[in-house]
Chains A and B, each alone.
Chain A
Amino acid sequence: MIKVEQLTKKYPGVVAINNLSFEVDKGEIVGFLGPNGAGKSTTMRILSSFMPATSGRAYIAGHDVFRDSLKARRHLGYLPESVPLYGDMRVNEYLRYRGSLKGLTGRKLRARADAVKELCSVKEVENKLIASLSKGYRQRVGLAEALIDEPDLLILDEPTIGLDPNQIRHVRELIKSLGKRHTILLSTHILSEVEVTCSRVIIIHRGKIEASDTPENLVGRIRTSGTVRVEVRTGSDDPVEMLEKIVGIKSVADNPEDGWHRCSIRVEANSDLREEIYRLAVERRWTIRELTQERATLEDVFVEITHADN
């Protein structure tokens, strides 16, 4: 659906994206991650044929986004980061205008406008001026607009920014359900969102792709965040001293409270030392209230990749 070949975009003095190549297949939901200024929006703007790349090619549904831009745009629903809308229009008017701009007419246009209003829950504000809408509604109107002509590909630049938790959940469900019929490329900073919605993650940093895999594989790749938490009552024992004798434990931080020691234990990567800790506790007759190994999350992956050389 999307094919990007050695895409480079230079601004005066800055290389926004550098030799980017990736592909997105039909039906995938791809999360596009990266710190601010990594080049996510730039890539999306090039893909939506809003601006040309300095060099390299990009294709949407087989059409070059620069040379054959009109055909490429016909397959695309795009929601820019700032969700620009015409404040002087009513929601209904806006959706009809955009629908007709994208080639819908008559009954089909009305049907689609009704459908997207329903889908994005903006039905109750359909007759309001867009300028008077809250951020959450504006966001959903933007999304409704992107969906109006049932495009094969949706490019969503931070679709959940500015929404409240309920709305985020709603949009997340919506994106997931859309994934059955549309190909989706979305960028976001909410990593938990990516873990549940996306079938693949592309992490981009300083204009380069640093990782591209399923969220599970990415998390699986690094287990360095090996931290074990344990909460014990040890009587007169000093848990830090005892725990640090176990082979594989790097460091122990203790946080005593009401006679309970809450210890955060750094262990070596890819190791599970919970059994050893348990045995020690039994041996010393400690009371255990909690013993957990923290799992690496996508956030750890993200930090690991994008923070490495900062």
Chain B
Amino acid sequence: MRRLFTLLKRELSVFYYSPIAYIVLFLFLILNGLSFWFAIALLNRAPSENTVVQVFFNSAFFWIAYLLVFPVITMRSFSEEFKMGTIETLMTAPVRDWEVVASKFMAALVFYMSLWLPSLLYFLIFGWLGNRSAIGSAGQVWAPYLLLLVMGMFNVSLGCLASAMTSNQIVAAMISLVLTIGFFFVTLINYVVNSSSPILREMTAYVAQLDHMDSFSRGIVDSRVFVFYPSMTLLLLVITYQVFQYRRWKA
């Protein structure tokens, strides 16, 4: 356990000591800020039944920031180690392969969640200064963050898998972007295919991130996502572990 902690500390320091992290954070804040400004502007224009939280989490700016961030934070996790050869010193130290995979995944997830912290501040300050009812109930604020956590787990593990597959960060980012966006757009099949079957609808409902966010930002917490995303994450991490081992042994 102490080893895992040591690894995790190292992985986190990679994020927070590098200038790239702050560039990502900066761009992310801009998009979030736009999204928040957009939400307030919209609600100021006309009476609406929606809360600020709802509009914020369903704006295009929000989704763009959300989808683009995964490749950026996960692309270097394994690729860099393979490219620099540090995988050799890492894996000849007394650490287990799964500890390495877990630490990389957890560090990326922690960094990802920390990106959302400022937006939480928006709501708190807004509620404090302005109209409490425009935010909605406390549960309505927490629910989207809970969803962001579980959906984030899934997408971060996708990114880790992509990174474990190649020594090239850019290629890793591309694979991860394609996978992330691919899963995001799966639900849209229903809109494209007119006569989509109920089974297809049912299946795609599991990965319908837009729909999840829609209901979570209303405060409707659907328990299915807490089973689906974590179990998919586990599956993806097991695959990552296998790919990682395969690439190391093949080296």
B88:A45 contact, CB within 8 angstroms: yes
Query: Which of B7, B14, B86, B251 touches A101 (beta carbons < 8 Å)?
Result: B7
B84:A88 contact, CB within 8 angstroms: no
1/0 per residue, CB under 8 A from A, across B210-251: the answer is 000000000000000000000000000000000000001111
Which range contains the number of B residues in contact with the other chain?
20 to 34
Query: Which of B84, B87, B94, B250 touches A73 (beta carbons < 8 Å)?
Result: B94
A103 within 8 A of B: yes
Mark out the residues of chain A between 128 and 172 whose CB falls within 8 Å of any chain B CB in the assembled complex: 145
Closest A residue, CB atoms, query B7: A101
Complex Cα spacing A88 to B250, Å: 27
A127 within 8 A of B: no
Complex Cα spacing A84 to B167, Å: 15
1/0 per residue, CB under 8 A from B, across A85-103: the answer is 1111100010001101111
Complex Cα spacing A52 to B91, Å: 12
Instruction: Chain B residues near A73: list those with CB within 8 A.
Output: 92-94
Mark out the residues of chain B between 11 and 28 whose CB falls within 8 Å of any chain A CB in the assembled complex: 13-14, 17-18
CB distance from B97 to the nearest CB of A (A): 10
A80:B85 contact, CB within 8 angstroms: yes
CB distance from B180 to the nearest CB of A (A): 26
B89:A52 contact, CB within 8 angstroms: no
1/0 per residue, CB under 8 A from A, across B82-113: the answer is 00111111011111100000000000000000
Instruction: Chain B residues near A242: list those with CB within 8 A.
Output: none
A8 within 8 A of B: no
Closest B residue, CB atoms, query A11: B250
A78:B94 contact, CB within 8 angstroms: no
A102:B93 contact, CB within 8 angstroms: yes
CB distance from A191 to the nearest CB of B (A): 26
Complex Cα spacing A87 to B89, Å: 14
CB distance from A193 to the nearest CB of B (A): 23
A278 within 8 A of B: no
Closest A residue, CB atoms, query B10: A97
Complex Cα spacing A85 to B89, Å: 8
B94:A103 contact, CB within 8 angstroms: yes
A101:B85 contact, CB within 8 angstroms: no
CB distance from A107 to the nearest CB of B (A): 16
CB distance from B183 to the nearest CB of A (A): 31
Query: Which of B6, B14, B91, B95 touches A50 (beta carbons < 8 Å)?
Result: B91
A189 within 8 A of B: no
CB distance from A153 to the nearest CB of B (A): 12
B89:A145 contact, CB within 8 angstroms: yes
CB distance from B48 to the nearest CB of A (A): 48
A76 within 8 A of B: yes
Closest B residue, CB atoms, query A101: B93
B3 within 8 A of A: yes
Closest B residue, CB atoms, query A79: B89
A51:B7 contact, CB within 8 angstroms: no
A43 within 8 A of B: no
B85:A88 contact, CB within 8 angstroms: no
Whether A98 touches B86, Cβ cut-off 8 Å, given contacts A52-B249, A88-B14, is no
Query: Which of A45, A51, A74, A101 touches B6 (beta carbons < 8 Å)?
Result: A101
Instruction: Chain B residues near A51: list those with CB within 8 A.
Output: 248-251
Mark out the residues of chain B between 119 and 154 whose CB falls within 8 Å of any chain A CB in the assembled complex: none
Closest B residue, CB atoms, query A155: B92
B94:A74 contact, CB within 8 angstroms: yes
Complex Cα spacing A101 to B18, Å: 22
Query: Which of B2, B18, B88, B95 touches A84 (beta carbons < 8 Å)?
Result: B88
Complex Cα spacing A50 to B97, Å: 11
Query: Which of B2, B17, B92 touches A78 (beta carbons < 8 Å)?
Result: B92
Complex Cα spacing A102 to B170, Å: 32
Complex Cα spacing A217 to B60, Å: 78
9 tightest A-B CB contacts, nearest first: A84-B85, A48-B92, A84-B86, A73-B94, A80-B88, A100-B6, A78-B92, A101-B93, A74-B94
Which B positions have Cβ atoms within 8 angstroms of A? 2-3, 6-7, 9-10, 13-14, 17-18, 84-89, 91-96, 248-251
- 28 chain-A/chain-B pairs, Cβ below 8 angstroms: A48-B88, A48-B92, A50-B88, A50-B91, A51-B249, A51-B250, A51-B251, A70-B96, A73-B92, A73-B93, A76-B92, A80-B88, A80-B89, A80-B92, A82-B88, A84-B84, A84-B85, A84-B87, A84-B89, A86-B84, A86-B86, A97-B9, A97-B10, A100-B6, A101-B6, A101-B7, A103-B3, A145-B89
